[in-house]
Structure formats: structure tokens, C-alpha cells
Amino acid sequence: MFGCDAMADDVQRTDRVIVVPGEQVGDSELKSGNGTYRKGDLIFSAQLGIVNFRAGFVNVIPFAGKYSPKPGDSIIGIVQDAGPNSWMVDIGCPYPAFLHANESPWKVEFGATTQHLNVGDVVLAKIGQVDETRRVNLTMKEQGLRKLNTGQIMKIVHTKVPRIIGKNGSMISLLKEHTGCRIFIGQNGTIWIDGELEGMRKASAAINIIDRGTHLHGLTDEVRAYLNGNPPGNDDERM
Amino acid sequence: MLDEIKLLDKDGMRLDGRKLDQLRPIRMEAGVLDNADGSAYIEWGGNKVIAAVYGPREAQPKYLQDPSKAIVQVSYNMAAFSSDERVRPGPNRRATEISKITAEALESVVLTGNFPRASIDVYIEVLEADAGTRCAGLTAASIAIADAGIPMKDLVAACAVGKIDGQLALDLGKKEDNFGQADMPLGFVPGTGEISLLQMDGHMTIAEFKAAMQMCMAACKHIHELQRDALRRRYAVNYADMSEPEAEQ
């Protein structure tokens, strides 16, 4: 439903060890996954993050870093520029993404792009293609992809997206249930929340809790407690 | 003048009481700035250096873009108050040189192929200088790049070795640098054994050079451990289950 990356769903707790770039994380029996590189028989971490073993692959889930677009990802972007026939959209990766008028859900006359989307507008879109030089093409041709007119957006590190969605969407449905908001989480770490003012405030506070404690266990319980009206214990610990 | 200053006492101790193969005290911290993508602070003897990293972001101006890989741009700057004599603000010959060699040293470890057309911008600000700022700057910059989540092969550790009163000495202090016979900063990648920065002032024999390299590489390995600890500590705070020992400085 949310294009949830399966990666986070079965993170094995036992192997959550912090590694730094250049640290060995595996040997010839494993395959080199995300955030790692292979040198000879050995696999090393390329990023600062936590180790995760899954399906014969060793991955490093980074703590920080820019989103790298993958075809098929649902993302939330902010329109940066409008050309005669296209828009440039900021999706939080190193390069602006290109959205052609033909890939939009509207019939756009040449030169009339700003009638549909203008600079600063927020869109829910999907990554179409990414070529070798990382030029990104977006599409809005699928059902549910649209311009977001109301609500608010917030940004988190994209690697924490799976944690906000939770196992089989448990965390996100918890949030929706308790706040009565419509929430969509883009794979690029941009989150859209829409609903009553009080609900939105509660939802964004809950997301901040998740954002802060992403690598702690028992997070769902803590968030549930907060949504039920109990302030979380470590709310003020943030520097 | 050169012969009048004794840099070693009769027991072979240096002006600040160090042994020949001893580093000055080093303290590092990752993630000190909120607005940069990655940052690090290092205190190395009397040096105080902050490094900040932005990116990868689209390289500007456009003609700098490389369609096959990211570029690394470094700006090394000494604060006006960093030395006992006021440093005239703005780029100069020395700052331009250090920026260039630091960028090249970092480019050799960053996996630039992942980010075509992008730029990784590193800003090194020297708050207080006491000899060896390029090594401190490079060491801090590589922590900051890792802190920004940018993929890299390994961290670069840097240290200098020199010659004072005819003897090799590790990590020269300011007086030793000014009145010694040689100074050789080295950037070393312990994981791969590569040397990513090597410069030398003064004179050494080939035998001395070889011994100096060995001495400096050993020191770099120690500094590399400190770098790793600084990065781990940044997240160990939130990490209840971690039984990582606190880093010793």
C-alpha cells in the first residue's frame, strides 16, 4: 500500500551493530548488499549505520544520507521550477527530478504548465526511470498520484521510512487510527499529513518520537502510549 | 638561529615533554553542527578545527559537473583569530594548496561513482592553529563525510612526522615545525594501505624517510581508531542495547 520496503520488516535485532566505513561486515559466504562494497573475498561497510543480514545479503542501513531514487518508489516532491512543457521537482536527492507534462494526469497546453502546478506546489508522484547518470523521470499517470492541496508536510531521513510504516504497516495504521489524519509517507522521507489541526499536531509529534528513537526497541509501545495521552519519558532529552 | 634553539633535552624529551614517537592529545566529536549534512570537531594539541560537509548536491557551476562521478570540493580556511598574528581573511596561496590536496585525499576514498554530476562540499575551518592543521583538517573532514552518510571505502587518517635536532619526531608542534629540519604530513587509508596525501618540507635521508613513513603510518592507525570511536559514539547515545565501551582518549 505504501510501497513499503520489505527491508525494515524483518530487521533482525541480534545483528544491529553500529559499523563505520571501512569496517568488515561479511566474508565470501555472503552477498554484498546496500551500503557495502566488496574487496576480494571480503565485504566492507561503505557507510555509517547498522548491519543487517537478510536473504544471504549483508546490508548496512545508514543513519544519514541522501535519498537515492529507485524506479517505482512513491515519493512526495516539491515543484522547483516550471518549464513550457515540464516541471523540475525537488525530491530530496542530489538532483532535481524531471516531470514531463505528458506524465501528468492533466491535459497540459504547451506553455501552460503553471496552470496545473506552480513553484512550491507539493505532488505525490512515482519514480519512472533513473538512468546511469542519475537523471530522474517522474510520473503521475497512476491512480492516486496527484497534487497535494491541503495538509502539511514534514521531512525525515529516508532510511527511517520503514520504521514509520512499521511491520506490515502497524505503526502507520496506529497513527492514522489515533489521530484521524490521512498520512502518506514518501520513500524519500517526505511525509504528508492532512486532517484536523489537533490530529495533525499529534501525528507530527508522534513521528518526531519515531524519528528520534528509530533504533530503539519497543518503539510501537512508546508511540501508542503517547497517542493514548501519556507523554513519552524521554521527550525532552533531545539536544 | 637554527642551531641556537634546542628542541630536544638531554633525555631525548621534546619541548612539550613528549617522547619522540608520542602524539599530542587528540579529541574528536562527530555531528557537532545541525545545519550541515555532516560535521566533525577535532582538538589536536593546540589545534581546534571544525569540518562541515554538504551534499552530495548538484555541482554548481554546471561546467564543473562530471557525468561519471561526483566531485569533492574543499575549502580550507583559517579564522582571523586562529594564530598569534592576525590571519588576513580570504583565500591565499597556502589555503588554496591545502584545499586542493585535501580534496584529492578525500576523493580517493569517497565512492564518487554513486553520485554522477554531484558535488560533495567540505568546509574546514581552523579556529585555532598550532602546527599540523592540514592533518587535523583532513582527519576531521573524513569523519564529517562519514557522518553525512556518504558512502566511502574507508576513513582517511592523517598525521605528520618530522626531524628535529637530527632525530625523527612524530606530530610536530609549532616550534618544532618552525625550527626543525623537516616536516612531512601523511594521509593514510589503513583499510587499503593507500597513501592519499604526502608532502615534505626540508631534508631527510632515504633511510630516515622510510623510518618516518613507518612511524607515521602506525600513528595514523591509532588516529583511525579514534575516528571510528567518534562516529560510533555519535549514535551510541540512543543505542540502549549497545555495550560499546566508551572511547578512551
Q: Mind listing the pLDDT tens digit for each residue in A167-208? A: 888 888 888 988 899 999 999 999 999 999 999 999 998 888
**Which residue of A47, A63, A65 is in closest CB contact with B235?**
A63
Check CB contact of A233 with chain B, cutoff 8 Å: no
Residue B180 has pLDDT above 80, yes or no: yes
Lowest mean pLDDT among A56-65, A128-137, B83-92, B238-247: B238-247
Lowest mean pLDDT among A213-222, B141-150, B157-166: A213-222
Residue of B nearest to A211 (CA): B238
Check CB contact of A217 with chain B, cutoff 8 Å: yes
What structural domains and CATH numbers belong to chain B? 26-236 (3.30.230.70)
Label residue B155 by pLDDT band (50, 70, 90): very high
Q: Do B146 and A47 touch (CB under 8 A)?
A: yes
**Which residue of B191, B238, B240 is in closest CB contact with A22?**
B191
The reply to whether A152-227 shares the fold of A74-148 is no
Residue of A nearest to B55 (CA): A94
Q: Do A18 and B147 touch (CB under 8 A)?
A: no
What is the reported pTM? 0.87
Residue A20 has pLDDT above 90, yes or no: yes
Identify which has the larger pLDDT, B121 or A1: B121
Distance from CA of A195 to the nearest CA of B (A): 30
Q: For A82-110, what is the mean pLDDT?
A: 92
Class of domain A74-148: mainly beta
Which residues on neighbouring strands pair with residue B71, listed in sequence order? B119
- Which of A60-64, A107-111, B113-117, B183-187 shows the highest mean pLDDT? B183-187
The alpha carbon of A121 is separated from its chain's Cα centroid by a whole number of angstroms, namely 19
With contacts defined as CB-CB under 8 Å, which chain B residues touch A96?
Answer: 58
Residue B210 CB contacts under 8 Å (≥ 6 apart), including other chains:
none
Sheet hosting strand B38-44, strand order edge to edge: B26-30, B38-44, B47-58, B118-128, B71-78
Label residue B222 by pLDDT band (50, 70, 90): very high
Please name the residues between 45 and 104 in chain B that touch chain A, using a CB distance below 8 Å.
Answer: 55-58, 67-68
Check CB contact of A94 with chain B, cutoff 8 Å: yes
pLDDT reported for residue A239: 37
CA gap A94, A130 in Å, rounded: 13
**Which residue of B57, B153, B240 is in closest CB contact with A94?**
B57
Check CB contact of B35 with chain A, cutoff 8 Å: no
Class of domain A6-62: mainly beta
- Which of A106-115, A124-133, A199-208, B126-135 shows the highest mean pLDDT? B126-135
Lowest mean pLDDT among A210-224, B99-113, B206-220: A210-224
Q: Is A162 helix (H, G, I), strand (E, B) or coil?
A: helix
Residue of A nearest to B113 (CA): A133
Residue A160 has pLDDT above 60, yes or no: yes
**Which residue of A17, A18, A62 is in closest CB contact with B149?**
A62
Residue A64 CB contacts under 8 Å (≥ 6 apart), including other chains:
A48, A157, A159, B37, B38, B147, B148, B149
Domain A152-227 has CATH 3.40.50.2300: no
Check CB contact of A133 with chain B, cutoff 8 Å: yes
Q: Do B111 and A46 touch (CB under 8 A)?
A: yes
**Which residue of A44, A62, A133 is in closest CB contact with B191?**
A44
Look-up of cell digits 501528468? A104
**Which residue of A20, A96, A213 is in closest CB contact with B228?**
A20
Per-domain residue ranges of chain A: 6-62, 74-148, 152-227
Q: Is the peptide bond before B61 cis (omega within 30 degrees of 0)?
A: yes
Distance from CA of B75 to the nearest CA of A (A): 20
CA gap A219, A200 in Å, rounded: 20
Residue B125 has pLDDT above 90, yes or no: yes
Check CB contact of A189 with chain B, cutoff 8 Å: no
Size of interface A-B (CB pairs under 8 A): 99
